[in-house]
């Protein structure tokens, strides 16, 4: 059996009882380590599980899945995913490959950012499509996310924006020369995301989300050190010192937001008077 095991959002103790049982009996245990991160080191996981864990980077998962699936027809193999295996990031390619080889697959679900973001006080059924924001480069500023944000906004729904992480990435020069030299990890912040959103809005000029639009920045959701900051996009551009280290996410508020959401999120407001005034002018109580 191939088991896809969700680890939750924070540390080694977030794994479910069922997931831990799978890990303890599996022949091999892999940790998917490029789409998200836990807030603890691999060594902490190994100590808690009482067994070694193989870190599976993007290259292994996408190009060497046969090693992960080796002997899984007759042995249990555990593939650990931060959050939920089919939450913000899916691993359908690995499942399809297992099916081709006649390997049974089971999923052990857990909390993900898709559910954990409810800690902002925003109601989950008021969210629309989730989008991802990547780091802009001098000659590459993808804006495909903008259309989905516009669609969400047009029907009053919130948008969860997942922020880019760069783990074990190569520079273009090293990639071209075939050198296995990797760049230091980088994690996008709420401030960077807010700034990029405003830059694209300035280019598009469609009035979807501007400097005075309300949003909520979230950091380390589900952990003991989770932090939220609510305000305008302009304010959130300067809020990274409040939110602290990775991982960050951003929620763009839809204009159908309920007054209960307003009151709950107000606790996180960078400037409560500004929050109240912008809300009264732009957001309904429906």
Q: Of 58, 64, 46, which Cα lies nearest the Cα of 165?
A: 58
pLDDT at 168 > cutoff 80: no
Burial (CB count within 10 angstroms: exposed 0-12, middle 13-18, buried 19+), residue 202: exposed
Lowest average pLDDT, out of 10-14, 117-121, 182-186, 247-251, goes to: 182-186
- Mean of the per-residue pLDDT values for the chain? 90
Number of H helices, E strands in the chain: 13, 12
- Of the pLDDT bands very low, low, confident and very high (cuts 50, 70, 90), residue 58 is confident
Rounded CA separation 262/264 (Å) = 6
Most confident of 88-102, 170-184, 205-219: 205-219
* Mean pLDDT along residues 167-190: 73
Which helix (H) or strand (E) segment holds residue 228: the answer is strand 227-232
Lowest average pLDDT, out of 123-132, 138-147, 161-170, goes to: 161-170
CA 233 to chain centre: 19
pLDDT attached to residue 173: 67
pLDDT attached to residue 88: 63
- Of the pLDDT bands very low, low, confident and very high (cuts 50, 70, 90), residue 38 is confident
Q: Of 173, 174, 175, 148, which Cα lies nearest the Cα of 162?
A: 148
Which helix (H) or strand (E) segment holds residue 133: the answer is strand 131-133
pTM of the full predicted structure? 0.90
């Amino acid at each position: 059996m191939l088991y896809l095991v969700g680890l939750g959002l924070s540390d080694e103790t977030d794994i479910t009882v069922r997931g831990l049982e799978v890990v303890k009996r599996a022949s091999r245990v892999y940790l998917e380590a490029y789409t998200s991160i836990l807030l603890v080191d691999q060594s902490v996981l190994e100590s808690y599980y009482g067994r070694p864990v193989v870190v599976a980077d993007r290259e292994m998962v996408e190009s060497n899945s046969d090693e992960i699936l080796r002997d899984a027809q007759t042995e249990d193999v555990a593939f650990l995913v931060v959050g939920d295996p089919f939450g913000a990031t899916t691993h359908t390619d690995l499942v399809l490959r297992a099916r081709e080889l006649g390997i049974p697959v089971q999923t052990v679900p857990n909390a993900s950012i898709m559910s954990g973001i409810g800690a902002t006080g925003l109601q989950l059924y008021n969210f629309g499509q989730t989008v991802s924001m990547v780091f802009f480069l001098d000659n590459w500023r993808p804006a495909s996310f903008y259309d989905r944000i516009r669609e969400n906004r047009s029907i009053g729904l919130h948008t969860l924006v997942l922020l880019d992480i760069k783990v074990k990435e190569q520079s273009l020069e090293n990639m071209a020369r075939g050198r296995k030299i990797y760049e230091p990890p980088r994690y996008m912040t709420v401030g960077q995301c807010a700034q990029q959103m405003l830059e694209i809005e300035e280019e598009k000029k469609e009035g979807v989300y501007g400097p005075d639009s309300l949003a909520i920045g979230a950091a380390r959701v589900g952990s003991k050190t989770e932090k939220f900051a609510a305000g305008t996009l302009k304010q959130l551009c300067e809020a990274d010192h409040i939110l602290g280290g990775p991982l960050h996410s951003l929620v763009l508020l839809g204009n159908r937001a309920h007054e209960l959401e307003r009151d709950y999120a107000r606790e996180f407001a960078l400037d409560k008077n500004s929050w109240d005034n912008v809300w009264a002018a732009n957001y309904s109580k429906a």
